[in-house]
Amino acid sequence: MTTIRLFRATDAPIVSDVIERCLRKVNSRDYPPDLIDRMCAHFDPTRILELAGQRQMFVAEQTTLVGTVSRDGNKVYTMFIDPRAHGRGIGRKLMTHIENLAAAEGFDHMETGASITGHGFYHRLGYTDVRVSETDFGLNYILRKPLPAVPS
Ligand X SMILES: CC(C)(COP(=O)(O)OP(=O)(O)OC[C@H]1O[C@@H](n2cnc3c(N)ncnc32)[C@H](O)[C@@H]1OP(=O)(O)O)[C@@H](O)C(=O)NCCC(=O)NCCS
Site residues (CB under 6 A) for ligand X?
22, 26-27, 79-81, 86-92, 114-115, 117-118, 120-121, 124
- Residue closer to ligand X by CB (options 106, 143) is 143
CB of 69 or CB of 103, closer to ligand X? 69
CA distance 15 to 116: 21
Calculate the alpha carbon distances from 108 to 20, 74, 96, 99, 113 in Å. Answer: 33, 9, 14, 10, 17
For ligand X, which is the closer residue by CB, 81 or 103?
Answer: 81
Shortest distance (Å) from residue 82 CB to ligand X? 8
CA dist., res. 6 & res. 97, Å (int): 11
Please say which residue, 71 or 106, places its beta carbon nearer to ligand X: 71
* Nearest CA-CA partner of 70 in 49, 43, 45, 51: 51
In this structure, are residues 83 and 26 in contact, taking their beta carbons and an 8 Å threshold? yes
CB of 150 to ligand X, least distance (A): 23
Using DSSP's 3-state secondary structure scheme, residue 15 falls into helix
Minimum Å gap between C-beta 151 and ligand X is 28
CB of 120 to ligand X, least distance (A): 3
